[in-house]
Structure 1
């Protein structure tokens, strides 16, 4: 079973995302409130995928992504960025940082499932 880390400073958004993941059959989900907490968790536990918000206090999603890509042990971890950002310059910066996928807010379970299916094939419930 795949372990997913959900990173968002808004408790409601984390709750919605975690419930969607569980509905899709992903039971092993952990959460962090910002990039710093996420990085700490990533360094102590194995995680198969990170789903992170872009804008957060302490350490935002792009800084978290850059830290993951710079860390030899974590560099291959897939990272999906969740954002309401639609500015081309910001999107290019995220792509340059080697993001694995995007989810644009607002989104539904089908959008989330299609992003997850790019990384997990056998875990998805019918």
Structure 2
């Protein structure tokens, strides 16, 4: 499974990359903002996008909207990560067809469960 991790904080990207590697997902790619991620998504084939919600320039919600509006990317699973606890905001993300949502801080087990669920959905699609 080819994964792209997007977060404007290098430390959070490193934590996510380490978690993914420890779960057996080798060589995930990383982007430091939504704009860079969108360019990478259009140039490469990914099986999953994991993105932070709150980022400058192009935030996770805007990135999700662009992915869902792109013919090539519209079916790409998107796992959103955030410290956001505003139920209205989360409901809006669900309406925008986010595949999964994890609240920071999360642990390895939570990530593993989300990835298993998403991977199961990919195989049955």
TM-score bracket for this pair, using the shorter chain length: over 0.9
Q: Which residue of 1 aligns with 2:89?
A: 90
Q: Secondary structure at the match of 1:93?
A: helix
Aligned residues: 120
Higher helix share: 2
State TM-score, norm by structure 1.
0.93
Normalised to the residue count of structure 2, the TM-score between the two structures is 0.94
Instruction: Output the CA distance in 2 between the equivalents of 1:102 and 1:37.
Output: 21
Is 1:63 equivalent to 2:62 in the alignment?
yes
Greater than 3 Å deviation, 4+ residue runs? none
Residue of structure 1 in register with 2:50 after alignment: 51
The aligned residue for residue 28 of structure 2 is 29
Aligned-partner SS, 2:109: helix
Structure 2: segments with no counterpart, 5+ residues: 121-125
RMSD between aligned alpha carbons?
Answer: 0.8
In structure 1, list runs of 5 or more residues that go unmatched.
Answer: 122-126
Per chain length, whose mean CA-contact separation is higher, i.e. which structure has more relative contact order (CA < 8 Å, sep 6+)?
1
SS in 1 for 2:54: coil
Match of 2:2 in 1: 3
3-state SS in 1 of match to 2:118:
coil
Task: Quote the Cα distance in structure 1 between the aligned partners of 2:47 and 2:86.
Answer: 29
